[in-house]
Amino acid sequence: MRAASCTREAYARQIASCYRDSAIDFQFPIPNSQFPIPNSQFPIPNSQFPIPCLANSQFPIPNSQFPIPNSLFGQFAMNMLYPGRQKQLETLIEKLGLSKDASIKWHLVDLALTHASASAKANYEQLEFVGDAVVRLAASELLFEIYPDCTVGEFAAIRSILVSDRILAKIAASYGFDRYLIVSSSAAADKTGAVPRLADSLEALLAALYLSAQTLELIRPWLDGHFQRLAAEIRSDPARQNYKAALQELTQGKYKTLPKYTVEETGTVQGGEDRFTAKVSIQGELVAEGKGRSIKAAEQAAARSAFNKLVSY
């Protein structure tokens, strides 16, 4: 009996590797009654087991003796290998104000909270790529709804702050993401990487939730509150609006290049509103200029003028 258990554990580990390294849609645990496979049935030709990553496996089991849909494998493997992981993920989901009984692809949530230092293949990097678009969509929808009179420039400037690593990391930290993130001890010791690590894991989780529902219904109920409060703070203090980031995003998408700034000290009064003059060029052509009491303020003024000019074309 002990030998059989060890064999089943080895088999579960192989399935886990499968589900982590492939796009198979896993969701539910396999009841014990559906796993009655004696060791003697293992050495059956690989061609009879329809999971690509189990080619050349030492556990090739024919479909007729293991008639379990692919969608059942993932959670079973995760539960076999990480008995407490499902409970951890459910706790985090409930912290977000969501129900653990919602239609959630738990294997994606697990990946979203797995750092590349813990697994070179099964980590959040691909989900983070999707999440980068999801968080922008969520922020854009919210801004469009609550500030219908804002210009496109204001939308972009506010959104660039909302989706910045600094803000996303703060949101992730407020839910204690570091308690659920699987990361190597060496990476965890790197404090300089904490902010991007938290921001990336939040974006990955947003992707996991979006892909679970194919909408923002599992995201906006808890994320809107953070973004709405921050957006109000940013609008009350125009100096916080990041037109440089908005202009950079626009020029990268439209011209495949970055804006270049030159700054001169043109005023003589310390702290004067026109002490510095910044000029911004795109592809070698002067687009706009702006003035400010500091270099940063002057560049933001120039970026704002350039952004508004380009979006009006």
Q: How many residues does the chain have?
A: 313
First and final C-alpha spacing in the chain:
75
Separation of alpha carbons 281 and 279, rounded Å: 7
132 is catalytic: yes
CB 167 within 8 A of CB 252: no
- Extract the runs of DSSP E, i.e. beta strands, from the chain: 260-265, 276-282, 285-292
21 is catalytic: no
110, 128, 154, 203: the active-site residue: 203
Separation of alpha carbons 213 and 264, rounded Å: 52
Q: Facing residues of 263 across strands? A: 278
125, 132, 165, 274: the active-site residue: 132
3-state class (DSSP) for residue 202:
helix
3-state class (DSSP) for residue 55:
coil
Enumerate residues 6+ apart whose C-beta is below 8 A from 284.
none
Active site residues: 132, 203
